[in-house]
Amino acid sequence: MASRDVKKLLFDIRQAGELITSFVRGRSHQDYQGDRMLQSAVERQFEIIGEALRQAVDIDPVLEKKLSAARRIIDFRNRLIHGYADISTLVVWGIIEERLPILGAEVQKLLDEP
Protein backbone atom coordinates (compact mmCIF):
# COMPACT_ATOMS: atom_id res chain seq x y z
CA MET A 1 0.00 0.00 0.00
CA ALA A 2 1.33 3.40 -0.95
CA SER A 3 1.77 6.07 1.69
CA ARG A 4 -0.60 9.03 1.83
CA ASP A 5 2.16 11.22 0.40
CA VAL A 6 2.65 8.92 -2.58
CA LYS A 7 -1.11 8.69 -3.14
CA LYS A 8 -1.33 12.49 -3.16
CA LEU A 9 1.48 12.69 -5.73
CA LEU A 10 -0.18 10.01 -7.87
CA PHE A 11 -3.41 11.98 -7.68
CA ASP A 12 -1.52 15.08 -8.87
CA ILE A 13 -0.11 13.07 -11.78
CA ARG A 14 -3.57 11.81 -12.72
CA GLN A 15 -5.05 15.29 -12.48
CA ALA A 16 -2.31 16.85 -14.63
CA GLY A 17 -2.79 14.13 -17.23
CA GLU A 18 -6.52 14.74 -17.28
CA LEU A 19 -5.91 18.47 -17.74
CA ILE A 20 -3.60 17.83 -20.69
CA THR A 21 -6.22 15.58 -22.24
CA SER A 22 -8.90 18.23 -21.79
CA PHE A 23 -6.64 20.96 -23.19
CA VAL A 24 -6.00 19.07 -26.44
CA ARG A 25 -9.42 17.45 -26.90
CA GLY A 26 -10.59 18.16 -30.44
CA ARG A 27 -7.23 19.67 -31.41
CA SER A 28 -4.65 18.49 -33.90
CA HIS A 29 -0.87 18.71 -33.83
CA GLN A 30 -1.17 21.64 -36.22
CA ASP A 31 -3.45 23.43 -33.74
CA TYR A 32 -0.99 22.66 -30.94
CA GLN A 33 1.99 23.85 -32.95
CA GLY A 34 0.32 27.17 -33.68
CA ASP A 35 -0.93 27.94 -30.18
CA ARG A 36 1.79 29.06 -27.75
CA MET A 37 -0.67 29.35 -24.88
CA LEU A 38 -1.78 25.74 -25.40
CA GLN A 39 1.85 24.63 -25.56
CA SER A 40 2.61 26.45 -22.33
CA ALA A 41 -0.38 24.93 -20.56
CA VAL A 42 0.47 21.40 -21.71
CA GLU A 43 4.16 21.74 -20.90
CA ARG A 44 3.34 23.03 -17.41
CA GLN A 45 1.21 19.98 -16.70
CA PHE A 46 3.97 17.69 -17.99
CA GLU A 47 6.36 19.48 -15.61
CA ILE A 48 3.96 18.74 -12.74
CA ILE A 49 3.71 15.10 -13.79
CA GLY A 50 7.49 14.72 -13.92
CA GLU A 51 8.14 16.47 -10.63
CA ALA A 52 5.38 14.63 -8.80
CA LEU A 53 6.71 11.34 -10.13
CA ARG A 54 10.26 12.21 -9.11
CA GLN A 55 9.08 12.94 -5.58
CA ALA A 56 6.95 9.78 -5.46
CA VAL A 57 9.87 7.60 -6.60
CA ASP A 58 12.09 9.23 -3.96
CA ILE A 59 9.56 8.18 -1.32
CA ASP A 60 8.82 4.74 -2.81
CA PRO A 61 11.52 3.55 -5.25
CA VAL A 62 9.39 0.51 -6.19
CA LEU A 63 7.16 2.86 -8.18
CA GLU A 64 9.87 3.13 -10.81
CA LYS A 65 9.19 -0.53 -11.66
CA LYS A 66 5.39 -0.18 -11.49
CA LEU A 67 5.22 2.67 -14.00
CA SER A 68 6.56 1.56 -17.37
CA ALA A 69 8.20 4.84 -18.32
CA ALA A 70 8.97 6.42 -14.94
CA ARG A 71 12.58 7.34 -15.70
CA ARG A 72 11.69 8.68 -19.16
CA ILE A 73 8.90 10.80 -17.69
CA ILE A 74 11.24 12.35 -15.14
CA ASP A 75 13.86 12.92 -17.84
CA PHE A 76 11.22 14.57 -20.05
CA ARG A 77 10.34 16.95 -17.20
CA ASN A 78 14.01 17.85 -16.87
CA ARG A 79 14.21 18.47 -20.60
CA LEU A 80 11.16 20.74 -20.46
CA ILE A 81 12.69 22.73 -17.62
CA HIS A 82 16.31 22.92 -18.71
CA GLY A 83 16.16 22.42 -22.48
CA TYR A 84 12.95 24.28 -23.16
CA ALA A 85 14.28 25.98 -26.29
CA ASP A 86 14.81 22.63 -28.02
CA ILE A 87 11.42 21.04 -27.34
CA SER A 88 9.77 19.68 -30.46
CA THR A 89 6.00 20.10 -30.63
CA LEU A 90 5.87 16.85 -32.60
CA VAL A 91 7.60 14.98 -29.75
CA VAL A 92 5.24 16.48 -27.16
CA TRP A 93 2.23 15.65 -29.32
CA GLY A 94 3.44 12.07 -29.73
CA ILE A 95 3.77 11.71 -25.97
CA ILE A 96 0.24 13.06 -25.52
CA GLU A 97 -1.20 10.59 -28.00
CA GLU A 98 0.88 7.50 -27.27
CA ARG A 99 2.27 7.60 -23.73
CA LEU A 100 -0.12 9.73 -21.68
CA PRO A 101 -3.01 7.22 -21.88
CA ILE A 102 -0.67 4.44 -20.69
CA LEU A 103 0.55 6.55 -17.78
CA GLY A 104 -3.02 7.45 -16.86
CA ALA A 105 -4.05 3.78 -16.74
CA GLU A 106 -1.00 2.77 -14.71
CA VAL A 107 -1.48 5.59 -12.20
CA GLN A 108 -5.18 4.82 -11.86
CA LYS A 109 -4.34 1.19 -11.13
CA LEU A 110 -1.98 2.31 -8.34
CA LEU A 111 -4.58 4.70 -6.93
CA ASP A 112 -7.15 1.89 -6.89
CA GLU A 113 -4.90 -0.31 -4.74
CA PRO A 114 -5.94 -0.45 -1.08
Look at residue 1 in the predicted model and tell me its pLDDT.
45
Q: CB–CB of 43/87 below 8 Å? A: yes
- Residue ranges of the chain whose pLDDT lies below 50: 1
Question: What backbone phi and psi angles, to 5 degrees, belong to 106?
Answer: -65, -40
Look at residue 2 in the predicted model and tell me its pLDDT.
65
Domain ranges of the chain: 4-112
CA distances to 18, 27, 97 from 50, in Å: 14, 23, 17
Full-model pTM: 0.93
CA distances to 38, 60, 93, 112 from 35, in Å: 5, 37, 13, 35
